[in-house]
Structure 1
Amino acid sequence: MSLKDQPEFRTVWAPDAYPRTTSSPVRYVPVLKDDTVIGYLWAATTDDATQYVPREQAGDPALDAAVAWTRRLRWAKANGVTPLQALRHWAGEGEDPRAGLVPVGPPFELPTLRALEELAAAV
């Protein structure tokens, strides 16, 4: 291997994660940082899928939060927290410097994950 060769990276181990897609309706909560919506945490209503969707207009803080939410959701999966329970698990906690905060309140619902992705992409 020379310095001109591209290194090959392989994942040797990663914690279990929830599925990141669903065809069912989704419940979601906003994720805030400095009183700005930076993304949405969602959970499927009929299966085991959940994920964080960054809001495009929120820029780098929204993308940085994705790393923190991936870690949090892997922790939830490892500890037997269901996706719908995860929506409420962090609600009302103080603002995390990376993940932001989830306000207290009931989740919203949309008929598809695609509809939530469109909401996150809206200006």
Structure 2
Amino acid sequence: MSLKDQPVFRTVQAPDSYPRTTSAAVRYVPILKDEVVIGYLWAATTDDAARYVPREQAGDAAFDAAVAWTQRLRWAKANGVTPLRALRHWAGEAEDPRAGRVPVGRPFELASLEALVELAADG
């Protein structure tokens, strides 16, 4: 292997996580950092999938938060928290410097994950 070769990465072990896609409707909550929406945490209405979607207009903070939300969702899965319950699990907690915060309130709902991805892309 030379320095010109592209490295090949292989996951040896990773914690369990919820499926990252769904064909079902999704419930979601905004993720705020300094009162700016940086992304959305969603769960499938079928309660079998969840993920964080960064809001493109929010820049680096939105993408940096994805690491923290991946860790949080893996923790939730490992501790038997359902995806829909995970939406409310962090609601009202103090703002985390990396993950932001989930405001108190009921989740919103969209007909598809694609609609939420479009919302995140449009700002």
When the two structures are superposed, what TM-score results if normalisation uses the length of structure 1? 0.96
Query: For structure 2, which runs of at least 5 residues remain unmatched after alignment?
Result: none
Unaligned runs of 5+ in 1: none
Give how far 1:97 is off: 0.4
Q: Is 2:47–2:84's contact at 8 Å kept on the other side of the alignment?
A: no
Which aligned runs of 4 or more in structure 1 are off by greater than 4 angstroms? none
Distance across 1 between alignment mates of 2:54 and 2:43: 14
- The number of residue pairs the alignment matches comes to 123
Secondary structure of the 1:52 match is strand
What is the distance in 2 between the residues matched to 1:46 and 1:22? Answer: 9
> What do residues 28-86 of structure 1 show as CA deviations (whole Å, max 9, x unaligned)?
00000000000000000014100000001000000000000000000000000000000
Deviation at 1:7, TM superposition (A): 2.7
Alignment of 1:22-37 (within 5 A): 22-37=22-37
Q: Deviation at 1:5?
A: 3.1
Match of 1:109 in 2: 109
Give 2:97's aligned residue: 97
Q: How far, CA to CA, are the matches of 1:34 and 1:6 in structure 2?
A: 38
3-state DSSP class of the match of 2:20? coil
CA distance in 2, matches of 1:7, 1:60: 25
Partner residue, 1:38: 38
8 Å contact 1:24–1:47 — kept in the other structure?
no
Q: Identity percentage over the alignment? A: 81
**TM-score calculated relative to the size of structure 2:** 0.96
